[in-house]
């Protein structure tokens, strides 16, 4: 048996190294890129193996046969390289059956032409055996399809190298090392191929590309072992960053320097009811809520972040907007990231703490001192009926305050938040509760649509109605409840004929904070405000003529179920229906 030529031995070394790397890559499945790296390495092994057969063949037909067989490996290499690079760098959304089939059209056509015996001399115009000092080679004059597949191979190689080049400057050293090793592994065969096509190799018929597969295999082995290629790939990091952006609870928008929307996350689309496909590319001013106010933050015109009331699918909520610039390596701003953080819960909690602090520091202390003082007076004169009456009234006010504080807790009870009930049932419960406060009260119920509302609304209406009755100086207080539904919102109005609400109370609610000198007289209106804010609704106050107040709350209808229908006006008590309504103003923003 004749000894193998030195070139065949060198090729077998490349085959051994490449096969070892292919086995290692195959064993790493299903890590991102493992399968496609194995395809690439298998293509190199295939090409080098059958080139050995070609070199050792003695006749032109035999050499031509093994030459045609090599095309399977030749065309598999660029396809494997492209899809490996995409999967390895986390761009696996581009690796689909359709994209694989599309990219494989030219390679499959090339193999089919070679398998058919190259009709029309598409791959090779002429084939000649050349005797050289280093061996016998098949010298091929390339045909048109040869140049097409060569250009196609370089194109796929270049496209696959782009995401890897981006990792060269990555902050993570392992990824930089992996990328460098992979680029060396693919650049070496490219260099050999270019040298062959340009005629830089002085030996006729010698294509050095398979010979440098040894260098390629060593580079891939080094990346697999030293830099933990595949076991430590950037794909999960890219996917994780995308996941964080998409799953971030806060709505986030990315706006380009020209003021066009570049991207937005799922929370932004869901919170503000935006179609992502239609929004991207549109002017940010037409998509981003309160964009003019946000631009002030970006321009540094605002001294500090502030709460911006914005209407979303869950009603109106206060959001704190932050703007961060995206800067490239040259210090140039390429985009701005606008994040909206819902601060309603935080602001509401701070507000409740302040109010409850006032209640226990001022109101409870005042009533306690009153009881204590008149108790001392009773001790001195047990027959003092006035002292006893004051003590009873003060104790009643403390019990009422305690009950109001308890109902405030119901607003934020997680077990109650998710519940809903038909609005007529809620109104009936409210009416029954007010009856218990003052049996002589005249309570009228107008038209109430039969829709479902959050049960938290009951607490709001109870406090409105009880306030209207308790603070009414008439012998028979009058209260009317009416409701209407439009565009997914229910508007409930509670009117009374009492003395009205002190403007100072409006001022405190409008500012949203209390001070030792400026605070509300009770907790009832605060509970109403907290409940409406918690539901993402709106509230307004209007004076009635000749006296009284009309309070209107507007909250979203519960979307889980709607029963339809309605209920006509009715009268509870001994009063008649009164259609003399004061004109209701426009509903102010949440937080008023």
Q: What tens digit of pLDDT does each residue of 418-437 get? A: 678 899 999 999 898 888 87
pLDDT-based confidence at residue 100 (cuts at 50, 70, 90): very high
Q: Is the pLDDT of residue 221 over 80?
A: no
pLDDT for 469-485, tens place per residue? 887 888 888 999 999 99
Within this chain, do residues 158 and 263 fall inside the same structural domain, yes or no?
no
Please indicate, yes or no, if residue 547 is contained in any of the structural domains. Answer: yes
Contacts of 184 (CB under 8 A, 6+ apart): 215, 216, 219
Within this chain, do residues 419 and 513 fall inside the same structural domain, yes or no?
yes
Contacts of 560 (CB under 8 A, 6+ apart): 420, 452
Candidates 188, 190, 180, 184; CA nearest to 157 is 190
The pLDDT value recorded for residue 9 is 84
Domain boundary among 211, 238, 265: 238
Average pLDDT over residues 189-201: 70
Count of C-beta atoms within a 10 Å radius of residue 475? 6
Helix (H, G, I), strand (E, B) or coil at 420: strand
Please indicate, yes or no, if residue 388 is contained in any of the structural domains. Answer: no
Q: What is the DSSP letter of 381?
A: -
**Under a CB-based contact definition with an 8 Å cutoff, are residues 305 and 322 in contact?**
yes
Count of C-beta atoms within a 10 Å radius of residue 592? 18
pLDDT for 312-345, tens place per residue? 555 566 778 888 888 766 677 888 888 888 776 6
Secondary structure of 141-166 in HEC code, one letter for each residue: EECHHHHHHHHHHHHHHHHHHHHHHH
Within this chain, do residues 431 and 543 fall inside the same structural domain, yes or no?
yes
The pLDDT value recorded for residue 576 is 33
- 183-192 contacts: CB < 8 A, separation 24 or more? 184/215, 184/216, 184/219, 185/215, 185/216, 185/217, 185/219, 185/220, 185/223, 186/81, 186/157, 186/160, 186/161, 186/216, 188/212, 188/215, 188/216, 188/219, 189/44, 189/77, 189/213, 189/216, 190/154, 190/157
The pLDDT value recorded for residue 592 is 28
Average pLDDT over residues 249-267: 86
Instruction: Identify the CATH number of the domain in which residue 32 sits.
Output: 1.20.1070.10
Please indicate, yes or no, if residue 368 is contained in any of the structural domains. Answer: no
Q: Which residue's structure tokens are 């430590």?
A: 232
Return d(Cα 297, Cα 322) in angstroms, integer.
7
Lowest-confidence region among 93-97, 214-218, 469-473, 494-498: 214-218
Within this chain, do residues 447 and 316 fall inside the same structural domain, yes or no?
no
**Under a CB-based contact definition with an 8 Å cutoff, are residues 427 and 481 in contact?**
yes
pLDDT for 125-155, tens place per residue? 888 887 776 677 788 888 899 889 988 988 9
Within this chain, do residues 120 and 264 fall inside the same structural domain, yes or no?
no
The pLDDT value recorded for residue 102 is 94
Within this chain, do residues 52 and 179 fall inside the same structural domain, yes or no?
yes
Within this chain, do residues 420 and 539 fall inside the same structural domain, yes or no?
yes
Mean pLDDT (the chain) is 76
Instruction: Identify the CATH number of the domain in which residue 474 sits.
Output: 3.30.565.10
The pLDDT value recorded for residue 362 is 66
Q: Is the pLDDT of residue 551 over 50?
A: yes
Within this chain, do residues 153 and 274 fall inside the same structural domain, yes or no?
no
Nearest-5° Cα angle at 192, 188 to 196? 170
Give the pair of three-digit tokens for residue 276: 């992502």
**Under a CB-based contact definition with an 8 Å cutoff, are residues 319 and 342 in contact?**
yes
Q: Is the pLDDT of residue 371 over 90?
A: no
pLDDT for 490-535, tens place per residue? 999 999 988 877 665 655 555 554 444 333 445 667 778 777 877 7
Please indicate, yes or no, if residue 375 is contained in any of the structural domains. Answer: no
Within this chain, do residues 30 and 145 fall inside the same structural domain, yes or no?
yes
**Under a CB-based contact definition with an 8 Å cutoff, are residues 444 and 431 in contact?**
no
Q: Residue 119 burial by CB count (10 A; 0-12/13-18/19+): exposed, middle or buried?
A: exposed
Q: Residue 552 burial by CB count (10 A; 0-12/13-18/19+): exposed, middle or buried?
A: buried
The pLDDT value recorded for residue 347 is 60
The pLDDT value recorded for residue 515 is 44
- Most confident option among 177-181, 296-300, 366-370, 512-516: 366-370
Please indicate, yes or no, if residue 377 is contained in any of the structural domains. Answer: no
Candidates 531, 553, 421; CA nearest to 481 is 553
Q: What do you get for the CA distance between the two ends of the chain, in Å?
A: 98
Within this chain, do residues 31 and 87 fall inside the same structural domain, yes or no?
yes
- Kindly provide the b/e burial profile for residues 500-529, where b requires at least 16 CB atoms within 10 angstroms of the residue's own CB: ebeeebeebbeebebeeeebbebbbbbbbb
The pLDDT value recorded for residue 493 is 93
Q: DSSP letter string over 316-348? A: EEEEEEEEEEEE-TTS-EEEEEEEEEE-HHHHH
Return d(Cα 348, Cα 345) in angstroms, integer.
5
The pLDDT value recorded for residue 267 is 84
| Alpha helices (H) in 438-539, listed in sequence order | 456-470, 503-511, 524-534
Instruction: Report the domain count for the chain.
Output: 3
Give the pair of three-digit tokens for residue 49: 């193996």
pLDDT-based confidence at residue 104 (cuts at 50, 70, 90): very high
Domain boundary among 238, 258, 285: 238
Within this chain, do residues 334 and 474 fall inside the same structural domain, yes or no?
no
Quote the percentage of the chain above a pLDDT of 90.
10
Domain boundary among 294, 326, 342: 342
Pick 558 or 305 by higher pLDDT. Answer: 558
Please indicate, yes or no, if residue 206 is contained in any of the structural domains. Answer: yes
Q: Is the pLDDT of residue 202 over 80?
A: no
pLDDT-based confidence at residue 105 (cuts at 50, 70, 90): very high
Q: DSSP letter string over 70-106? A: THHHHHHHHHHHHHHHHHHTT-GGG--HHHHHHHTHH
The pLDDT value recorded for residue 112 is 94
Taking CA atoms, 577 is separated from 461, 478, 524, 581, in Å, by 20, 11, 27, 11
pLDDT for 8-21, tens place per residue? 888 888 888 888 88
Return d(Cα 316, Cα 590) in angstroms, integer.
6
The pLDDT value recorded for residue 520 is 42
**Under a CB-based contact definition with an 8 Å cutoff, are residues 307 and 269 in contact?**
no
Please indicate, yes or no, if residue 583 is contained in any of the structural domains. Answer: no
Instruction: Identify the CATH number of the domain in which residue 319 sits.
Output: 3.30.450.20
Q: Which residue's structure tokens are 């003060």?
A: 394
Helix (H, G, I), strand (E, B) or coil at 571: strand
The pLDDT value recorded for residue 566 is 45
Domain containing 486 equals: 415-572
Within this chain, do residues 108 and 146 fall inside the same structural domain, yes or no?
yes
Quote the percentage of the chain above a pLDDT of 70.
69
The pLDDT value recorded for residue 222 is 64
Please indicate, yes or no, if residue 102 is contained in any of the structural domains. Answer: yes
Return d(Cα 80, Cα 156) in angstroms, integer.
9
């Amino acid at each position: 048996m004749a000894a193998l030529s030195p070139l065949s031995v060198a090729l077998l070394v490349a085959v051994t190294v490449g096969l070892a790397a292919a086995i290692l890559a195959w064993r790493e499945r299903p890590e991102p890129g493992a399968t496609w790296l194995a395809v690439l390495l298998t293509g190199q092994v295939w090409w080098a193996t059958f080139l050995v057969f070609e070199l050792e063949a003695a006749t032109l037909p035999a050499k031509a046969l093994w030459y045609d067989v090599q095309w399977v490996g030749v065309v598999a290499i660029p396809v494997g390289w492209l899809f490996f690079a995409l999967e390895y760098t986390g761009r696996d959304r581009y690796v689909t059956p359709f994209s694989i089939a599309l990219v494989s059209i030219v390679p499959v056509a090339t193999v089919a032409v070679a398998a058919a015996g190259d009709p029309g001399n598409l791959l090779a115009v002429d084939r000649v055996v050349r005797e050289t000092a280093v061996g016998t080679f098949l010298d091929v004059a390339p045909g048109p399809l040869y140049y097409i597949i060569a250009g196609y191979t370089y194109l796929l190689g270049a496209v696959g190298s782009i995401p890897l080049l981006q990792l060269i400057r990555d902050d993570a050293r392992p990824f930089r090392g992996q990328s460098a090793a992979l680029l060396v592994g693919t650049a070496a065969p490219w260099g050999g191929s270019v040298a062959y096509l340009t005629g830089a190799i002085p030996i006729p018929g010698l294509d050095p590309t398979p010979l440098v597969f040894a260098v390629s295999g060593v580079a891939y082995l080094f990346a697999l072992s030293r830099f933990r290629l595949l076991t430590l790939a950037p794909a999960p990091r890219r996917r994780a960053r995308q996941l964080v952006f998409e799953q971030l609870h806060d709505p986030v928008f990315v706006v380009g320097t020209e003021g066009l929307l570049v991207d937005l996350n799922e929370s932004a689309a869901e919170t503000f009811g935006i179609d992502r496909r239609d929004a991207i590319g549109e002017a940010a001013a037409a998509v981003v809520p309160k964009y003019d106010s946000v631009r002030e933050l970006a321009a540094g015109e605002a001294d500090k972040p502030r709460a911006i009331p914005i209407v979303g699918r869950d009603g109106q909520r206060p959001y704190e907007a932050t703007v961060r610039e995206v800067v490239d390596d040259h210090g140039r701003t390429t985009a701005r990231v606008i994040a909206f953080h819902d601060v309603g819960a935080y602001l509401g909690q701070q507000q409740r703490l302040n109010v409850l602090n006032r209640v226990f520091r001022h109101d409870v202390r005042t009533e306690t001192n009153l009881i204590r003082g008149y108790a001392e007076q009773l001790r001195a004169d047990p027959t003092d009926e006035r002292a006893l009456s004051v003590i009873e009234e003060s104790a009643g006010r403390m019990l009422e305050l305690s009950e109001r504080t308890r109902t405030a807790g119901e607003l934020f009870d997680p077990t109650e938040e998710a519940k809903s009930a038909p609005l007529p049932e809620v109104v009936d419960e409210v009416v029954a509760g007010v009856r218990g406060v003052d049996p002589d009260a005249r309570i009228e119920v107008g038209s109430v649509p039969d829709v479902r509302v959050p049960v938290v609304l009951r607490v709001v209406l109870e406090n409105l109605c009880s306030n209207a009755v308790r603070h009414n100086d008439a012998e028979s207080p009058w209260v009317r409840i009416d409701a209407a539904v439009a565009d997914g919102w229910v508007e409930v109005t509670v009117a009374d004929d009492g003395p009205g609400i002190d403007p100072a109370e409006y001022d405190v609610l409008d500012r949203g904070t209390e001070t030792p000198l400026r605070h509300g007289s009770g907790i009832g209106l605060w509970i109403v405000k907290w409940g409406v804010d918690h539901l993402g609704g709106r509230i307004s106050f209007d004076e009635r003529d000749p006296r009284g107040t009309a309070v209107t709350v507007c909250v979203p209808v519960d979307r889980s179920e709607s029963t339809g229908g309605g209920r006509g006006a009715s009268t509870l008590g001994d009063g008649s229906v009164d259609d003399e309504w004061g004109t209701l103003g426009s509903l102010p923003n949440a937080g008023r």
